[in-house]
Homo-oligomer: A and B are copies of this chain.
Amino acid sequence: MVQGTLLYAQSGGVTAVINASAAGVIAEARARKVKVLAARNGILGALREDLIDTSRESAAAIAALAHTPGGAFGSCRYKLKSLDADRAKYERLLQVLQAHDVRYFLYNGGNDSADTAWKVSQLAQAFGYPLHCIGVPKTIDNDLAVTDTCPGFGSAAKFTAVSVREAALDVAAMAETSTKVFVYEAMGRHAGWLAAAAGLAAQSPDDAPQIILFPERAYDEAAFLAQVDKVVKTVGWCVVVASEGIQTADGRFVADAGGGTDSFGHTQLGGVASYLAGKVKESLGYKVHWTLPDYLQRSARHIASRTDWDQAQAVGKAAVQYALKGMNAVMPAIVRSSDAPYRWKVEAVPLHKVANHEKKMPAGFLRKDGFGITDKARRYLQPLIRGEAPLPYGNDGLPKYVTLKNVPVKKKLPAWEG
């Protein structure tokens, strides 16, 4: 019997497969007879000592957890600052861990979470408390350093490529007498990874999306509109995929320009697709439709990528193995050894190499004209959307997603005054 308890917490925006990582953690820990607690609503639950006893969940529930989107224990947007600025919080966290004999702390999130896990490990060392802190990667933004890709991205990428291809078939069929231009808004405030993934829908130059707008390139309205017009005149219709983060050359977010005042004089929320659609209609006169998939793109477990799902489970499992081996301040990263055939493995990387770095899209991934992706990008992206992750459906036609019992652990400490 391994000594000590494992605490698992989810952090930041959830994905279609973060629960697959959670299931990987719990299944591996159970196999090794390690007790797993989960923090409710991420690090906030850890600070509040609001912990969940995962041993109360059946094996069937944990198996179903692996194919349930969202964050089963709750997540949060809550960033701990530096050790100096937030010292009381870090110390409280350590107190909670100690009170529940937590020797393994697994934090499932993005850049900030890697940073937090690293700081907690530093503090534990300073206090002489034997704690193994492991980061578990997760983000649809695909912007974590070192790892080849991030669990969550591949499934959102697959949703994007499939949806764009499907919508394009609709637009192509109707273009003569109806919509000629369709604009799809992809998530990605800082990097155009998901917009790039839409490029996988195209097999030849005239295929949709004929135009992709990336935050990596300044948005040039005249050039954009000219390109739309050119595509419509050549192909008969045009599908545009725009990253929410596109900016003009002077650094203004186009999404902010889209907001304004509605016809009643009230605040109108912004949006890149709605803005671009308005421009196309106004300047070119084409009938236009647009979509803002928003959370649908990051929660669509029904169209999850098998590669992504496998990797999400693998990093969860590896995190437990690293912790039990006595490793500390590391994160399981996806390492790619070959594009075709696609080969990957999981390797431990130091958390400080991941924390506070942001992986940008390589310049070589964008076509010279800035409106599409290169073959190099395709070779990188393609394996990430490959395969269909299995999903059981009920007789009601809906996926069988699980709701855990989330039984709380009895508190041992005074309430947190944070």
Q: Does A382 contact B (CB under 8 A)?
A: yes
Known: A10-B173, A167-B295. A281 touches B257 (CB 8 A): no
CA distance A259 to B275 in the complex (A): 11
Chain B residues lying within 8 Å of A262, measured Cβ to Cβ, are: 257-261, 268, 275, 278
* A177 interface neighbour in B76, B161, B182, B281, Cβ under 8 Å: B76
Chain B residues lying within 8 Å of A170, measured Cβ to Cβ, are: 14, 69-71, 295, 298-299
Q: Smallest CB–CB gap between A309 and chain B, Å? A: 12
Q: Does A327 contact B (CB under 8 A)?
A: no
Known: A301-B166, A382-B396, A397-B385. A76 touches B176 (CB 8 A): yes
Q: Does A92 contact B (CB under 8 A)?
A: no
Q: Smallest CB–CB gap between A396 and chain B, Å? A: 6
Q: Does A364 contact B (CB under 8 A)?
A: no
Chain B residues lying within 8 Å of A201, measured Cβ to Cβ, are: 398
Chain B residues lying within 8 Å of A256, measured Cβ to Cβ, are: 263
Chain B residues lying within 8 Å of A291, measured Cβ to Cβ, are: 292-296
A24-32, A118-126, A314-322, A386-394 - interface stretch? A386-394
CA distance A388 to B392 in the complex (A): 10
Which residue in chain B gives the minimum CB-CB distance to A275?
B262
Chain B residues lying within 8 Å of A277, measured Cβ to Cβ, are: 269
Using a CB–CB distance below 8 Å, which chain A residues touch chain B? 10, 13-14, 16, 41, 44, 68-72, 74-78, 158, 161-163, 165-174, 176-179, 182, 200-201, 256-264, 266-269, 271, 274-275, 277-279, 281-282, 289-296, 298-303, 305, 307, 382, 385-388, 393, 395-399, 401
A170-B295, A262-B278, A269-B277 known, 11 other contacts, Cβ within 8 Å: A14-B174, A16-B166, A41-B176, A74-B173, A167-B299, A170-B298, A258-B268, A271-B274, A291-B294, A302-B302, A307-B397
